[in-house]
Amino acid sequence: MAISNDTGSAPGPAPGGGVAGRILVVDDDPTVSEVVAGYLQRAGFTVHRAADGPAALEAAARHRPDLVVLDLMLPGMDGLEVCRRLRANGNATHTLPVVMLTARGDEEDRILGLEVGADDYVTKPFSPRELVLRVRSVLRRASTVLPEDEPGLAAAGLSVDPAARRATKDGAELALTLREFDLLAYFLRHAGQVCDRERLMRDVWGWDFGDLSTVTVHVRRLRAKIEEDPADPQLIRTVWGAGYRFEAGPHPSDRSRTATATATATATGPGTDDGRA
Band the pLDDT of 3: cuts 50, 70, 90.
low
According to DSSP, the residues that pair with 243 across neighbouring strands are 239
Band the pLDDT of 212: cuts 50, 70, 90.
confident
> In this structure, are residues 61 and 92 in contact, taking their beta carbons and an 8 Å threshold?
yes
- Identify which of 123-137, 148-162, 199-213 has the greatest average pLDDT: 123-137
Give the CA radius of gyration of the chain: 22
Nearest to 27 by CA among 130, 108, 103, 93: 103
DSSP element (H, E) containing 174: none
Percent of residues, the chain, with pLDDT higher than 90 = 42
Band the pLDDT of 82: cuts 50, 70, 90.
very high
Question: What is residue 202's predicted lDDT score, i.e. its pLDDT?
Answer: 86
Q: How many H-runs (helices) and E-runs (strands) does the chain carry?
A: 9, 12
DSSP element (H, E) containing 223: helix 213-226
Question: What is residue 117's predicted lDDT score, i.e. its pLDDT?
Answer: 80
Task: With a cut of 80, say whether residue 253 has pLDDT above it.
Answer: no
**Of 33 and 18, which is predicted with more confidence?**
33
Nearest to 9 by CA among 134, 127, 92: 127
Phi (first) and psi of residue 90, to 5 degrees: 95, -20
Please provide the average confidence, as pLDDT, over all residues in the chain.
Answer: 80
Rounded to whole angstroms, how far apart are CA atoms 261 and 236? 25
Enter the pTM of the model.
0.65
| Tens digits of residue pLDDT in 97-126 | 899 888 765 677 777 878 888 888 888 888
Of the listed ranges 128-142, 181-195, 255-269, the one predicted with least confidence: 255-269
Rounded to whole angstroms, how far apart are CA atoms 277 and 272? 12
Q: How many CB atoms are closer than 10 A to CB 122?
A: 21
Buried b (16+ CB within 10 A) or exposed e, 184-194: bbbbbebeeee
Band the pLDDT of 10: cuts 50, 70, 90.
low
Task: With a cut of 70, say whether residue 214 has pLDDT above it.
Answer: yes
Rounded to whole angstroms, how far apart are CA atoms 22 and 59? 12
